[in-house]
Structure 1
Amino acid sequence: MKKGIISVIILITLFSCKDKVDEKSTVPAKSNNPYILVLGNAQDAGYPQIACQKECCNRVSLNPELKRFVSSIAVVDPISNESWIFDATPDFTAQTKLLSRYVKDKPLPDGIFLTHAHIGHYTGLMFLGREALGAIKMPVFAMPKMQQFLTENGPWSQLIELENIDVKPLQKDSIIILNSRISVQPIQVPHRDEFSETVGFIIKNQHKKALYIPDIDKWEKWNRKITDYIKEVDLAIVDATFFKEGEINRDMSEVPHPFVEESLALFENLSEGDKMKVFFIHFNHTNPLLIEGSDAQKLVQNKGFNIAKQGLVISF
């Protein structure tokens, strides 16, 4: 058996597979490996979504525990007791509370990495301002246009002026060393870049690599091959906003994410081991992958892929 496949099998056995966030959830005992914590898996507007009266959202009214936070992950180093959040979502307050259960005596992460300037990915920064926490120089890593957007537009510019946040510049494909065990590399992806560029991230520890791309236009619009990345990394958490064409009552070409059906077809010829690396995330409220035990979930899992469930812990 190839070494890469062995690594994935070990990774799978270290999951905490609870869909509902457990108030008493903890890291796997005696693990010193860096790990990823899934802090949310919904599209920017959350789940349930505002003014939605469809069955997909009404079921959450009847069962509030089915609510899901907006997509975000954290990387945790249990040895240094450090953590970093990827994207500051509208659910930032609850997500930092969730993260704080995994690090000792630290209610906030050691830094925030931003992917782009759509509402679900940066607006949580507002909770660091004077109306809320009044944070002191929280490191916020941002690409050039994202940094310019924050600097030139209120209320975000006030966060910088009052030194609630300390914006750290990123450059595509450059490597940011976080500590002796973890580094981060932004990779630019095509997306609706009205206000900033969009990036995903490669997160490396001493031995393994994880890919995080919560938002991208159709895979074929990218000048790189996602299948090549999946083969190269040990974990790939990727955009699955919509399950299929016709899912929403809008022209879906206006929001050209990869449909899950398209990704399943594109990834079909990957090896069994490579398929095991893939975790789908960033689900619109209409996406049946949000529904535990749905036919859509079963289809994805039966084909060898995974779902990034809120509260999931992934050692890498």
Structure 2
Amino acid sequence: MNSFYSLLISVGLLWAGKNTQSPYVVVLGIVQDGGMPHAQCQKKCCKNLWGKVKKEKVSCLGIMDPGTNQSWIIDATPDFPEQHQIITQGNDIKLAGIFLTHAHAGHYTGLMHLGREVMGAKNVPVFAMPRMRNFLETNGPWDQLVSLHNIKITEMRKQKEIKLSDRLFIEPIRVPHRDEYSETVGYQIMGPNKSLLFIPDIDKWEKWDQDILMRIKHVDFALLDGTFYSGDELPHRDMSEIPHPFIVESMDLFSSLNTPNRNKIFFIHLNHSNPVMEKTSAASNMIRSKRFNVAREGIIFPL
């Protein structure tokens, strides 16, 4: 295991326990939209998981500010009930808002749990870009969440900071992706001491009008799209229809970074077919040997 990765987990957990007033980000899930086990999959990666209580949750981050007793979630996934339980610690901490990245299945459909069929929530703040807001307000069943005041949508603008608390800020960052129904954004989260970049979905780094290398250099942690390790994972699918930067491509691009900057990078949003889901796989070992990391559920990033 990468020594930095091990240190981050142990120090992060210790830090969160002893510095209960300090804000942090916690990984609530790491898997691509379809989760794991993945519907219809009978391959080795999923076969032994059917019927098991333990499963891998869909990619999601929690932001915690114990000083104000507030929490926020980035993306409302199909695993929203469990992720909500973790981030609110059984309703002891207020869920102060949900930030959406885009309108693909694993990133917003968890909103259904806020409706009257389940939680019957009242005016939960949901932060969305203009097209994402329009999608929710003009399509059922999501429009009912608005009309019944289960959610209250706040429209975001790209690269415009939003204040979460006196010491926490978040900024949506537009990225190129398959924007059939909405824009796609990543986020930069800024705390009193550290910052974190989160881009779970992007087509290819070279399609972006920003320099990802510079972005990495200017933050303390970078959780980046690692959906597929390589183009060989899904031989029955046309990979051009589901573009993502392969991890092997990203590692080549990021190889010019020095070791401290490479240590900042954690690949997330992993497809069930991705061999790095197995911590001891050759692919996982390769990532560690190049001084990169793979996000795992429960990792804490102090801000």
Common fold by TM > 0.5: yes
Q: Report the CA distance shift for 1:197/1:86 in structure 2 as closer, same or farther (over 3 A).
A: same
Q: After superposing the two structures, state which structure 1 stretch, 51-60 or 141-150, moved more.
A: 51-60
Q: Do structure 1's residue 294 and structure 2's residue 281 form an aligned pair?
A: yes
- Preserved contact between residue 9 and residue 300 of structure 2 (Cα < 8 Å): no
Q: Do structure 1's residue 100 and structure 2's residue 88 form an aligned pair?
A: yes
The aligned residue for residue 41 of structure 2 is 52
* Alpha-carbon distance in 2 for matches of 1:64, 1:104: 23
Deviation at 1:217, TM superposition (A): 0.4
Deviation at 1:110, TM superposition (A): 1.1
Q: Do structure 1's residue 119 and structure 2's residue 105 form an aligned pair?
A: yes
The aligned residue for residue 23 of structure 2 is 34
- Identity over the aligned pairs, expressed in percent? 47
Deviations 1:21-59 (Å, cap 9, x if unpaired)? xxxxx9432343311110000000101100101111012
The aligned residue for residue 249 of structure 2 is 262
| Secondary structure of residue in 2 paired with 1:274 | helix
* Alpha-carbon distance in 2 for matches of 1:93, 1:55: 27
The aligned residue for residue 32 of structure 2 is 43
Q: Do structure 1's residue 137 and structure 2's residue 157 form an aligned pair?
A: no
Q: Do structure 1's residue 219 and structure 2's residue 205 form an aligned pair?
A: yes
Choose from 195, 204, 207 the match for 2:193.
207
The aligned residue for residue 263 of structure 2 is 276
The aligned residue for residue 239 of structure 2 is 252
- Preserved contact between residue 84 and residue 109 of structure 1 (Cα < 8 Å): yes
- Preserved contact between residue 14 and residue 28 of structure 1 (Cα < 8 Å): no
The aligned residue for residue 149 of structure 2 is 163
- Preserved contact between residue 81 and residue 104 of structure 1 (Cα < 8 Å): no
Q: Which runs of 4+ in 1 moved over 4 A?
A: 7-13
Deviation at 1:100, TM superposition (A): 2.8
* Alpha-carbon distance in 2 for matches of 1:13, 1:127: 33
The aligned residue for residue 149 of structure 1 is 135
Deviations 1:257-314 (Å, cap 9, x if unpaired)? 0000001101111011101111110000100111121111111112111111012112
Q: Which amino acid aligns with 2:26?
A: L
The aligned residue for residue 178 of structure 1 is 164
* Alpha-carbon distance in 2 for matches of 1:13, 1:142: 34
The aligned residue for residue 12 of structure 2 is 15
| Secondary structure of residue in 2 paired with 1:42 | coil
Q: After superposing the two structures, state which structure 1 stretch, 135-144 or 247-256, moved more.
A: 247-256
Q: Which amino acid aligns with 2:37?
A: P
- Preserved contact between residue 8 and residue 277 of structure 1 (Cα < 8 Å): no
Choose from 36, 44, 69 the match for 1:81.
69
- Preserved contact between residue 172 and residue 185 of structure 1 (Cα < 8 Å): yes
TM (normalized to structure 1)? 0.90
* Alpha-carbon distance in 2 for matches of 1:110, 1:206: 19
Q: Which amino acid aligns with 1:53?
A: Q
| Secondary structure of residue in 2 paired with 1:280 | strand
* Alpha-carbon distance in 1 for matches of 2:128, 2:216: 24
Q: Which amino acid aligns with 2:34?
A: A
The alignment yields a C-alpha RMSD, in angstroms, of 2.1
TM (normalized to structure 2)? 0.94
* Alpha-carbon distance in 2 for matches of 1:207, 1:256: 35
Deviations 1:188-217 (Å, cap 9, x if unpaired)? 000000000000001001232110101110
| Secondary structure of residue in 1 paired with 2:144 | helix
* Alpha-carbon distance in 2 for matches of 1:156, 1:143: 15
* Alpha-carbon distance in 2 for matches of 1:288, 1:118: 23
* Alpha-carbon distance in 2 for matches of 1:193, 1:154: 19
- Preserved contact between residue 85 and residue 91 of structure 2 (Cα < 8 Å): no
Deviation at 1:64, TM superposition (A): 4.4
